[in-house]
Structures are given as structure tokens and as C-alpha cells.
Amino acid sequence: MSDVRVLVVDDEPDLRLGLRMLLRGAGFDTVEAASGAEALQAFDRAPADIVLTDLQMPGMSGADLLVEIQRRAPGTTVVILTGFGTIQTAVWCMQRGASHFLTKPFDNDELLRLFSRLGRQVLASREQRQSSDVSGFVAEDPRSLRVVVMIRRVAPKPVAVLIVGETGVGK
């Protein structure tokens, strides 16, 4: 999980430290921020794969941070952590892209199971994106260039493709 970057955002230093130690102990590359504004600066310097943020913070709330993270990097996994969870707030956050809504106090083992699952999803998604990259193809012939264009269109889709040609043409 060392390839999965987690940004922990909470205005309580002890909770931030505890979460950082817990997640680093599980192998995650963990960075922390004390506020929403600080989190955005850290995110702009080095985007996180997963953002774990407190909901209630002075200044920018976790809900505002969620919206801004989704605007900057749609699809980033955001987990909301709060001691003041209501169903309305949870629904609002989920509708705006939060992947999970956890309440304090939380169970460390449950949090680690969740982050292990999220980390595996991040790695699988990254691997899928890399395997669909066709930038390594080299072609000069117009017919081969058309094949490369077709590959780029089809690569992100979950379909089987059969490429045929004469022996020795580099299928």
C-alpha cells in the first residue's frame, strides 16, 4: 500500500497523529493537514489517492473540501469522518462524491479494513489505466496509424478485440 497516498485532514492534532500512525503502520504513504485550506495546498503539491477528512473544522468544512477536491480531481476517493453525523449530512456528502461517511468514535480495525479495500481499488484502477495506455505504439504507415487510433478508442472499454494480419507484420 506504500504506493497509495492518503491525505488526513483534521483540526485536532492528536487525532491527526493517531490516524497518520495507524495508516502508516498499514503501509500507506500518509500526509496530514490541519485545515481545509492546508489540505488543498498539500493536494495541489502532490495529489492524494484517498482523502480522509473531518466534517466539522473551522474555516473550510470537510463538506466544502469534498466539493473542492472533486472539482480539482473528479473520482478522488474522499472519506468523511465526523462526531456529529446526521443522515441528511451523510446523504449530502455521498451525493457530492464521498465514498464513505464514518462516525467518531471509530473502530481502528474497521477503518483499516475499509482503507485496505479502498487502497486495493486505487491500485487496480491505476493498473487498469496504465494497461490501457497505448502511447508505446510506434507507427508511420497510414494504415498502422489508423489501427493505433482505433486502439486508443477501444482500449478504455471492456471489450475483446481481434487484430488480424499477415505473419510478420507485428500484430
Q: List pLDDT tens digits, range 90-136.
A: 888 888 889 998 988 899 999 999 999 999 999 888 776 665 555 56
Find where cell 473540501 sits.
65
pLDDT over 70 at 75, yes or no? yes
Q: What predicted TM-score, i.e. pTM, was given to this entire model?
A: 0.75
* 28 neighbors 2 (Cβ within 8 angstroms): yes
Which residues face 79 on adjacent strands? 52, 100
Higher pLDDT, 157 or 114: 114
| Pick from 93, 139, 119: nearest CA to 23 | 119
| Pick from 79, 113, 112, 74: nearest CA to 94 | 79
Residues 120, 108: Cα–Cα separation, whole Å:
18
The DSSP bridge pattern shows strands 5-9 and 29-33 to be parallel
